[in-house]
Amino acid sequence: MCFSKKILGGVIVLSVLLTLYSADFSCYAKSASKQDKSVSEETDDRLIPDGIKIGEHDVSGLSVSKAEKIIEDSFAKYDTVHFSLTANGKSVDATGKDLCICPADKRIVKRAANYGKTGNMLERFKAANDIESGRGKTFELTLGTDKKKLKQYIKGISKQFNDAASDNTLVKEGNAFIFKEGKSGVVLDEKSATQQISDFLSQEWDGKDATIELPTMMKEPRGSKEELSQITDLLGAYSTDFSSSAASRANNVSNGARLINGTILFPGDEFSVLDTITPFNEENGYQLAGSYENGTTVETFGGGICQVSSTLYGAVRQAELEVVTRSCHSMVINYVPPSQDAAISESGSKDFQIKNNKKYPVLIEGYTDGGIIYFNIYGKEEDDPSHSVDYETEITEVKVQNTTWVASESLPLGQMSTSTVGHTGYKAKLWKVIYENGEEIDRYVYNNSTYNPSNRTVVVGVATPDASLKGAMINAVSTQNPDAIAAAVSTLAPGAYNPSIFTIKPKYEVTVKEEDEAAKKEETTKGPAEQEPAPQPPVEQPAVEQPSVEQPPAEAPVVEGTENPI
């Protein structure tokens, strides 16, 4: 009886303590959870409790950021370890850095910081008791990999192991498709290879140079003659003009079309334009042509390739294939209307990806002829003959670029020259319009696109032997006021005055909808007393935008990388 009372008393005391700890630590847990979400990715100043180790590293009292740096540095020793990856009788040299070696638990430091503040009531009670008694806690630090990055690495080197396997395909000769047999071959099993490397590093590796045998599989040609014979109908077609392009740019457009031509997508297949047309180098058929890099025009291999992806985008829309990934240019281009482009940027991670959402295979034909690039998509027509689609661009906002006026003694007094043309910015929507028997039955927004403005620069000449005239012109330019500059030029150098340079006429205007047109017509029927006063023009009228045919769209300032544009 006495023993039972003691047990009962102990249970009661423990229950009370747990209840108190539960209330106390529930607050800690909530606080820790909130901290975890609000802490900056760059700096995490939360302190790790005393008595905590991560592997052999004592991180007691350190901030999370400092502890993470210690763990990161401890893994740097694996970056230079040599690995030999073998498969199909071939070998590829790699380093620990290539294999993305890192802690298996990427949140191990954050878990250490939250020790005693998360988990159920008993876990928090035990953790707090361990810390208070000096027993502490050691978190096991095990090797692992960043599987997402490792997967990308394996994908990049897989071709070095693979036989020249290919699917059965069709070759267009005249108006007929000729069946061509593919070839079977041994290829790397990328998914299994990624898992095998991860398992080896976490379970078997001793930290020294090693050889890893990777799994392979036999790839048989896809697409029987019967299956591919169903590709008979033209599902979508689109073309754009590049006839005024420089020879190098024209070469790149033709080369991009060549690399995509003949692609067959089976049901469910996804297709990446970037993966198909890269690398952008001379060996892959490209020449140097204009591209935009961080707001500056530069010569890069592949300049002009965006006209290829944008033309394909037009054919894809008409064929109603699924668009997986598409980006607009950072600045408006001139060979397709706004919202109808598809930008490509290897360093800026802009890709155009599509998926065959049909029940049958489709074939993409791409070629150039007479300065025109064509894309045709063939397959088996699944829609009723009464079905058709169209696409309409709606301009929702126009942002006229600013002008920087620069005084220069390189030009005679009052003479003006545009040194940087600049671009007008736009916001646009692309509407997909669906028709049955020629009657519109539905429409919806297919994409939204934003094109940034870029400032233009106008140089104003101040060269003259008359110091007073020169000073007056410099003062006018320093105001950056176009009215003041125009007045100064027309007064001080009337022969050099050019009014057109003070106006910018955007290529596109905000789309006027039918209801707006009706309201406008109604307004014109009012008498003089009823009409609203005409709006006054802005101080600086936008200047005539005259982009050259080769004008590339600039990469947005917040995005590093190179668009391989127009």
DSSP states along 517-548: HHHHHHHHTS-TTTSPPPPPPPSSPPBPP---
The answer to whether residue 1 scores a pLDDT higher than 70 is no
- Write down the mean pLDDT value for the chain: 84
Residues 26 and 369: their CA atoms lie apart, in Å, by 71
Reduced to 3 states (helix: H, G, I; strand: E, B; else coil), residue 153 is helix
Crossing angle (nearest 10°) for helices 482-492 and 467-478: 160
Residues 63 and 48: their CA atoms lie apart, in Å, by 6
DSSP 5-20: HHHHHHHHHHHHHHHH
What is the pLDDT at residue 293?
A: 64
Say what percent of the chain tops pLDDT 70: 82
AA identity, residue 209:
D
CA 450 to chain centre: 14
What is the pLDDT at residue 2?
A: 46
The answer to whether residue 233 scores a pLDDT higher than 90 is yes
**What is the pLDDT averaged over residues 281-289?**
92
Residues 245 and 255: their CA atoms lie apart, in Å, by 14
Between these two residues, 131 and 537, which has the higher pLDDT value?
Answer: 131
What is the pLDDT at residue 42?
A: 58
Between these two residues, 549 and 488, which has the higher pLDDT value?
Answer: 488
**What is the pLDDT averaged over residues 69-85?**
93
Task: Count the alpha carbons within 13 Å of 190 in the hemisphere toward its beta carbon.
Answer: 16
The answer to whether residue 278 scores a pLDDT higher than 80 is yes
Reduced to 3 states (helix: H, G, I; strand: E, B; else coil), residue 504 is strand
Q: 158-194 burial by CB neighbour count: b if 16+ within 10 A, else e?
A: beebbeeeebbbbebeeeebeeeeeeebbbbbbeebb
Between these two residues, 542 and 472, which has the higher pLDDT value?
Answer: 472
Between these two residues, 212 and 156, which has the higher pLDDT value?
Answer: 212
Between these two residues, 546 and 88, which has the higher pLDDT value?
Answer: 88
Read off the pLDDT band of 178 (50, 70, 90).
very high
**What is the pLDDT averaged over residues 118-132?**
81
Structure token pair of residue 534 = 């005409």
Between these two residues, 271 and 22, which has the higher pLDDT value?
Answer: 271
What is the pLDDT at residue 210?
A: 96
Structure token pair of residue 183 = 């070839």
Chain segment 368-425, per-residue pLDDT in tens: 999 999 999 999 999 999 999 999 999 999 999 999 999 999 999 999 999 998 899 9
Structure token pair of residue 129 = 């008791």
What is the pLDDT at residue 407?
A: 97
- Closest by alpha carbon to 422, among 269, 548, 308? 548
Q: State if pTM tops 0.85.
A: no
The answer to whether residue 39 scores a pLDDT higher than 80 is no
Chain segment 303-332, per-residue pLDDT in tens: 999 999 999 999 999 999 999 999 999 899
Read off the pLDDT band of 50 (50, 70, 90).
confident
Longest dimension (CA), the chain: 118
